[in-house]
Each structure stands twice: as structure tokens, then as C-alpha cells.
Chains A and B, each alone.
Chain A
């Protein structure tokens, strides 16, 4: 359990907004660096256009954004209440607790 506590402590920074901001800045910096590397390193390519500067960077960013937006649109069409299928679906029921060991971490809950 000691190890577990240490690991949790190592991740505690996610609670602090300023630390998260720093992390985001680090990510942005990393992205910038990776983008710039494109100008330094020549990538081997098979597909026409793949060798374009920033090809993967743009694809990653745009694809991700479009997927999220697309999914969001899709949700407006197909989202239904959890009881939509009634008794025929597990979505509307709780997992039978007798098969689980639901326990809270007493030490931490105080």
C-alpha cells in the first residue's frame, strides 16, 4: 500500500490549476518542438503528401477535433434515456452488488 500512496502523491499535481497549466505549456512546447523537427529531420515516406511539413501534426489535431465534433453531433441524434430498452437492457440496472466487493478506502475517506 505504501507504493500506492507514493504513486498517488506523484500524481497529486493534477489537483492544482497552476500545475496543470504548466503541464499544458510543457505539452504545447513539446508539440512545437516536434513540429520544428520536421524541418530538420527528413521523414521516409510512402504516401504522396505524407512528407509535407506538419502532415502528422495537422492530421492529428484536425482529425481529433473533427471526431469530437462529429461524435457530439451524433449524440444529439441517438442519445436516449437509460431506460429506453427497459428490462431488456443492463443499462437500466445496477450491477448486482453481491458479486462485487464495494469498499471505500477508510483511511482516505476521513
Chain B
């Protein structure tokens, strides 16, 4: 049985995809999630698939209700993405999708930190191929940046786990809390993947660079695995509440002015993560239920939005708001699905976002975090602005771009319709989701006052939108990019280096040779020494080798005989 655990099933599928032909591959990508779902449902609660490794006991499956709900939605997301990607005939993408989904699932089921680290790194390596599959030089560069940060997160995790193990003698992946250097390092590793403020930019940098289908896959797993990891290890850590609150707020502004709709969605993803992080930070049963529920709903509606924007990109060749508009005429099904996704993320009553977000909001209010609560309310209005209105409005309505693309292919429509249906079903019958949550739910989302409050918030925000559009205050969509913290390493650092080199030349023209050689070109020096033929790398002559030997012998003799 332990050879049939869900993550392994995905890996088997990936391996099969490597060797079989196109038709079988497409079939396998669909089949594996179904089989994995059965496997997951058959698994008993508790630990299994334990393996002795280096004297550690690795627990490959630790199933409890928290892990179950995340595993379930990961499998569903993999299935939906596979339908959506039915047309893809690219071994690289299909294999990496399965590997990536399997590894994310493995990370969620991991019962110890070493297993977690293993899957943590596999998700990094497997997912980068979804970016590289775009096969352009820019995608390659973006993928490299992404990979560096993701692997860096893994290295932090490894360092943290070593220190933690040294401190406590345990590698169990359970509640840790921020109590030591080790747990801090692990926390930072989780934080990078969870796109904490200032560690977030890999997300907005890379997701818009992935392939049409790749972005849908990417959006589901990495960050939610990190949310799960935080919920497992750091529930109730107060700093998370504030980190989360900031996360819900700052991406709104960027999303509002971003032109590339897939990047808008990436910012919006960041903002939604903020809600989940707040839930983890509060750490009560209600809040953790909220985090799990929100992750569940979020994966669905975010996939749906990425799917619809992806379908537009697939048919028109662009996802830039300034180039789109008026597409409702020829892509009506995509438009309706997009609207359902938008309504869900904006948390309109009867849609999925409403029944999950309110758990977190109520938890923050009940525990007295009023300021945080208010930030979340404001952020909710913000969500409406960039995801609820901007995405559908500028794509399908607004000014007519003159583009008359074909409706999305049948399989994409099927994927979108199923996802949209799930969003609505969860919104209408919240108890379906609530019974899956880690703790007992005693919560009624559909109370008069709750519905009324939410409708007031959203309708007035909508009114504000109309008002601002009419007055011409709302910023138009223009081509261009917006700087974010990635500027620091993409532009800042290189130009500081260049400037310091230039400055050095100007200030000390006299000592120019010396300064430049030392200050600005130490890399060059290492290179010169190490490149073939350099001092360190050339075949030393007999004389110099013997010289070194003699020197060392003298040193040893001196040390020994002094």
C-alpha cells in the first residue's frame, strides 16, 4: 500500500509520460489525479509509509484532517488543470506538471522535516520547467531567477532543519513556533514560498512568464503548500497576523495599475495569501478552518481566473489589458466563467469566496484584532477592484479592441465550466466544504446581517468604480511595467556595481588601475586565476610543485620539532 500513496502515483505517471506517446500522455495526466483521489480516500488517518533513513525515521504520509483538505484540493486542481491542458503536446510540461503536483502533495503529507525538504526542492525544480516551456530567452532568464529563489528557500529549510534537529533532536514536522534560530530559518524558508512582503516578487515575476497552461498549474501548488506548512508549524504565531495584513494590502495597489492581466492575478494571489496567513497567525480553530477553507476556494477560483485569462491569451496572443476589450461578443462562455471567478474572489454571497473569507474575518474580529480586521475589510474592497472588476471588465467589455477571437477550445471550456460550477456549488452549499475542515465548524455564513454587510461593501465599491470611471479619474490601462522589489536585484544591484566602478574611475583617475582592478573587478580576478591557464588551474611546472611540497614539509617539521 505504501507504494500506492498519492504522491508516488503522480511520480509514476510522470515516469510513464516520459516513455509513452502523445495520446497516452494526455490520458495519463487525466487518469493519475483520479487514481490518486481514490488512493487518498482509502488512506487511513495517521502515519504510514515510514522509512528508516540515516537513522532518522521518515514519515512519508501523515494524514490528518488538515493534510486531507489540502491534499484533496491539490488533486482536484491537478485534475482540472489537466483537462484545461488537454491540447498541450509537450512532454516537458506534462511530466513536470505531474512531478510538481505530486511533490506538492508529498509536501502536504510529509510527517517530518526531511521529507518536507525533499518535496520542497522537487516542487522548485519540477515547476521551473513550466516557465522554461515557453522556450524564449526571457522565459529562460525568468526561470533562472525563480529557480534561484525557490532553491534558496530549500537551502534555508535545510539549514533550519539541521539547526532545529541539533537543538531538539527531533525532525518531526509539527507545531514549532518561532522559538530559536532553527525555527526562524524554517519560518523564513516557508515565508519565501508563501511570498511574504519583500520576499514576494518571484511570484509576480515568474507566473506571467509561464505557459498558458503552466500558470494555471503554478498558481495552485507552491504557495498553498507554504500556507499549509505555516499552518502546521507556526499556527498562532502573532507576527503572522501582521505579515498577513500587510500582504493583503500592498499588492492591491500594484494589481490596480498592472497591465498584464496574468500579473494582476499574480498580485491578487499574493493578496489572497495574506488572508490565509492572517488566519494562521490567529491560530484558533475558527481561524485555521478559515485558512483551510480559503485555500480550498482560492485554488478553485484563482485557477478559474487564470484559465479564462489564459484562454484569452491562447486565442489572441496577448494578456495585456491595454490590448484587449470587447471580447464578450465572441468568447461569451469564457466571459461568464471569468465573471463567476471574479464574483467568487470578490466574495459575493452565493459564491465560494464569501463562505471562506468570512471565517477569517470573523476570527480576527472575535479575537480583538480590530485594526487587522479593518485592513481585511479594506482589502476585500480592493480585491473587488482588481480581480472582481478589472479582469473581466477590461478583457471582455470596456472599449472594443476590435479583436474577434474564437471561443476557447472545447476542453478549456469544459475545465472552466466545471471549476465555475464548483465555485458556485461551494458558495450555495457551504456545509459541503465545512465538513472537510480540520475542526468542527459551528458557523453560519448566510445570516441576514452578514449578507447585508457584504452586499453594502461590494455594491458601494462598485458604485465608486462607476463614479471614478465616469469622472475619468480611474487610471486607464497603458502599456508598460511597474517596478517592484525585484528591481533591487534586476536593476539596482547591477547599476550600483556599474556606478561604483564608474565612480571609482572618476574619483581616483590617478589610482585608476589599482582601484579598478581591486574594487570593481574582483570577479574578474577570480576568473583570471581560475580559468583554464590561470594560476590556480594551469598545470604547474615541476619546480613550483616541488616548491610547495618543500614549503609544506618545512612547515610541518617546524611545527613538530619546535
Contact = CB atoms under 8 A, between A and B. Distances in A.
Interface of A: 1, 3-5, 7-8, 11, 14, 24, 27-28, 30-31, 34-35, 37-38, 41-48, 50, 54-65, 67-72, 74-75, 78-82, 84-85, 87-97, 99-105, 108-109
A57 to B, nearest CB: 5
Interface stretch (B19-27, B102-110, B452-460): B452-460
A21 B406 CA distance: 30
Given A8-B328, A80-B483, A89 B313 contact: no
A27 B460 CA distance: 9
Given A68-B468, A74-B254, A11 B332 contact: yes
B71 to A, nearest CB: 31
Interface in B416-460: 447-450, 452-460
Interface size class of B (residues with CB under 8 A): 35 or more
Contacts of A71: 252-254, 256-257, 475
A95 B134 contact: yes
A97 B313 CA distance: 10
Interface in B313-328: 313-319, 328
Contacts of A104: 403-406
Given A74-B257, A90-B134, A60 B459 contact: yes
A14 B393 CA distance: 11
Given A4-B333, A71-B475, A104-B406, A47 B370 contact: yes
Interface in B340-382: 362, 365-366, 370, 373-374, 377-378, 381-382
Pairs of residues from A and B, 5 with the lowest C-beta to C-beta distance, nearest first: A71-B256, A60-B460, A43-B449, A7-B332, A46-B365
Contacts of B533: none
A4 to B, nearest CB: 5
A15 B561 CA distance: 98
Nearest to A100: B314
A104 B317 CA distance: 11
Given A1-B407, A64-B384, A79 B482 contact: yes
A58 to B, nearest CB: 7
B154 interface: no
B468 A88 contact: no
Contacts of A47: 365, 370, 373-374
A31 B464 CA distance: 11
B44 interface: no
A101 B297 CA distance: 30
B317 A31 contact: no
B490 A85 contact: yes
Contacts of B474: 68
12 contacts: A8-B330, A38-B452, A45-B449, A47-B370, A65-B467, A68-B256, A89-B141, A89-B142, A90-B139, A90-B208, A102-B405, A109-B404
A91 B260 contact: yes
Given A65-B468, A72-B257, A7 B405 contact: no
Interface in B190-218: 208-209, 211-212
A81 B458 contact: no
Contacts of A94: 317-318
Contacts of B483: 78, 80, 84
B286 to A, nearest CB: 12
Nearest to B133: A99
A108 B404 contact: yes
Interface string B488-520: 001100000000000000000000000000000
Interface in B456-484: 456-468, 473-475, 478-484
Contact of A100 (B313, B336, B466): B313
Contact of A88 (B141, B366, B447, B463): B141
Given A8-B328, A75-B475, A103-B405, A41 B452 contact: yes
A73 B208 CA distance: 24
Nearest to A9: B332
Nearest to B402: A109
Contact of A75 (B448, B459, B482, B490): B482
B532 interface: no
A101 B362 contact: no
A61 B378 CA distance: 10
A4 B407 contact: yes
Nearest to B367: A46
B534 interface: no
Contacts of A81: 480-481
Contacts of A28: 463
B136 interface: yes
A60 B381 contact: yes
Counting chain B CB atoms within 10 Å of each CB, the highest count among A7, A41, A61 belongs to: A61
A75 B257 contact: yes
